[in-house]
Amino acid sequence: MTNGVVHAMFWSVLAGGCLRPPNGSGTETLAQMRDSDTHSASIVPCNAGASCTVSGLECMNSSGILCTCVGPKGAAYVTCNSARTPSLSGQSTAPAADPWQVVAADGSSNREGVRCSDSPPWKAAGEPAYRISVDAKQSGPAWSRFYEKMVAADHANTVLETAWGRNIQGALRKGHELAGFQYVRFHGILDGDIGVYTEVNDKPVYNWARLDKVYDAIIAAGMRPFVEIGFTPPPLASNPAKTLHWYNHVPANISPPKDWNRWMDFMAALVEHLEQRYGVDEVRKHWYFEIWNESSWMYSRGMGGYNELYDYTVQGLVRGDPDIEVGGPAESGGGSAVGITNLVDYCRKHNRKLDFVTYHTYGQTSDTTVALSVSTQIFHEEMVGTVKKVGFTGDVFVTEWGASYSGALARDTEISASFVAKTIHLIGTDNGIAPPSGFAYWTISDLYEEFDSGTNLAFREGNYGLTLKGDPRYPDSYDVAKPAFNAFRLLHMMGETRVATSGGRTGDGVNAVATLAADGKALQLLVYNHVDGGQADPLASSLVSVQFKNIPFAAGKIRVRHYLVDHTHSNAYTTFAQMGRPPQPTQSQWAELRRAGELCYYETTVSPKDGAWSVRFPQNTYSVGLLVLSPQADGAQ
């Protein structure tokens, strides 16, 4: 049977598309279809949730995800599993992101960064303040990528539309492709602007259209949702006037549902819909459902009412699927220990499902002191101690963290870059204390709507994002990187196995950590200089000497790349300040900001002696560098 016959036979069985016959049906097999000249037509479009008649038939949704007809005769429907996409090898693979690459102002690809415009900082002489030693032969434990598991975002509706007339989808792609982020967590997926829940004649009505678009966009960016259940849909709210945040003139309702039975029905329907659209195995095995956010001030009944909210919410969710992953309490700062303890005790007493616990942390005290890396590490140790004390053995996620909980200028500058590097190094290598299962930086973008941030289209000086929101008039202004984003880019380049590194300082000053790639053909050294509090001089520097020993590919010439993020490198904010801080930059100024924000590096070729090589360079306060050593490619000069 030809593909054309198959299309004719099954077009009528599926609303919005048709299905491909399963293997062994007497028609072409999947592999045969892939090898045929009509490969592009062998998998036809369809919509998740549409009715179908023949279980096992396959089709493709608009996001490029492979879908299947499932269910009994007379009640079968199309389900789309984002963990399965077609591949030419005939094997199922992880979902691929939309084609995307970073392009420099001159049109060239710069996925690995661009050359720094000034002279290399390497020095032949001088008495070093720090002597870093790297022995590639002494391997240690795996390098933990807990910081790549997830990233936070503010308002779910920004995926679809924003006060600035653009969307966040580019920021998600950029975060996935260049920083390795795997999950994203949004506020307000159930808010009025998403419009999932309404009531007609006192009967609940569900409209999944906008919710689906949010999650489709996340999956299209190569990521998965970390679902935050919140807030109360206005028609279901017990107090319609109890609202919070600006959210582009559609504030969130934070009162309890007026009817817990309707709320539980809604939660069950939510899970059933997500599994129908994205696949049972996908949602059950790979998605997380976190109940609410910071109830101490974002729920009208406060922390004292949170366990009741959790209880009814989870009852509904597990009615939809008893095997999905659920957790909370997503409390911040000092309330985290109490919230986790109370929730674990409550779930144990009432036999409620609890698969993971969450907390939030920011490197800021009650005054203006920010970017406190050591305090952030200590707080994580305290949370691990709390979890251990109550006997909880599930995952611990940090679903918000950053240099400050307030809109501090450090968010925009090199201070956050070194804070990110140091915090991740300390927490990821804290002997005896496991890092969190995920560590979601707050936030991926300056598309932030908890309050109206005004008409400034570049830096608002203190907005929370890793990238700028840009000017809707100039698409090339979108997602200009801040220094902190470039720090995540450097961390994404780290290898798989830690190797022995010494000579740094865990307190204020310079520290370093080295890794080796899995194939042994690249050696990475992350070097940073950070002073807690954010008050030191960013132009002050310390001379650092680095010696690499037992380089595994030292028999021939090696390429050295030295990436740098500091006050004058890979730093759009410094350029913005030099421009006079224009609230709405011109198109040419945006081009300059984008160039300034690109991650830059120096490069040279060296010949190690006896498997060793050394270098000296100044390391500025509030800076992050990455030295990458690899074999020189054949024919390279």
Do residue 433 and residue 572 come from a single domain? no
Last residue of a domain, one of 80, 102, 133: 80
Query: Is residue 31 one of the residues assigned to a domain?
Result: yes
The answer on 504 and 365 residing in a single domain is no
Rounded to whole angstroms, how far apart are CA atoms 419 and 427? 12
Is-contact 364 405, C-beta < 8 A? yes
What is the residue type of 466? Answer: L
CA distances (Å), origin 205, targets 266, 300, 491: 9, 25, 45
Structure tokens at 569: 């490198």
Residues 155 and 136 in one domain: no
CB atoms within 10 A of CB 291: 26
**What six digits make up the tokens of 82?**
């984002």
Per-residue model confidence (pLDDT) at position 45:
79
Residue at 104 is within a domain? no
Say if residue 67 is in the same domain as residue 126: no
pLDDT given for residue 42 in this prediction: 54
- Across the chain, which distance is largest between two alpha carbons, in Å? 82
> Same domain for 267 and 367?
yes
Residues 308 and 446 in one domain: yes
The residue among 64, 80, 96 that closes a domain is 80
In a domain, 214, yes or no: yes
Question: Whole-angstrom Cα distance, residue 112 to residue 563?
Answer: 10
Q: Are residues 531 and 615 in the same domain?
A: yes
* pLDDT of amino acid 635: 52
Angle at alpha carbon of residue 479, lines to 477 and 482, rounded to 5°: 110
Q: What is the rounded CA–CA span in Å between residue 359 and residue 540?
A: 35
Q: Which residues, given as ranges, of the chain have pLDDT below 70?
A: 1-43, 48-52, 55-56, 62-65, 68-110, 164-166, 634-637
Buried-state track 92-116, b at ≥16 Cβ within 10 A, e below 16: eeebebeeeebeeeeeeebeebbeb
Q: How many folded domains does the chain comprise?
A: 3
User: Is it true that the peptide bond before 443 is cis, omega within 30 degrees of 0?
Assistant: yes
Domain boundary among 59, 80, 101: 80
516: domain CATH number? 2.60.40.1500
Q: Is residue 92 part of a domain?
A: no
- The answer on 281 and 225 residing in a single domain is yes
Asked if residue 90 is part of any domain, the answer here is: no
Check whether residue 483 and residue 527 sit in a common domain: no
- Which pair of tokens denotes residue 620? 């500025």
* 327's tokens: 């957790």
Provide the 10 A C-beta neighbour count for residue 550.
17
- Yes or no: say if 470 and 478 are a contact pair by the CB < 8 Å rule: yes
184 within 8 A of 149, measured Cβ to Cβ = no
Say yes or no: 506 and 445 in one domain. Answer: no
DSSP string, 395-448: EEEEEEEES-SS--GGGTSHHHHHHHHHHHHHHHT-TTSPPPSEEEEE-S-S--
pLDDT at position 101, please? Answer: 32
Distance CA 470, CA 16 (A): 36
Q: Rounded to whole angstroms, how far apart are CA atoms 404 and 407?
A: 7
97 lies in some domain: no
Residue type, 611: G
Enclosing domain of residue 459: 146-492
Whether omega for the bond prior to residue 341 falls within 30 degrees of 0, making it cis, is no
Question: Is residue 123 located within the same domain as residue 7?
Answer: no
Residue 543: both structure tokens together: 């001379």
> Does residue 289 belong to any structural domain of this protein?
yes
Is 238 strand, coil or helix? Answer: coil
Burial (CB count within 10 angstroms: exposed 0-12, middle 13-18, buried 19+), residue 125: exposed
Residue 107 lies in a domain: no
Based on the fold, state whether residues 160 and 192 are members of the same structural domain: yes
CA–CA gap between residue 276 and residue 603 (Å, rounded): 51
Tabulate helix, strand, coil % of the chain (nearest 5). Answer: 30, 25, 45
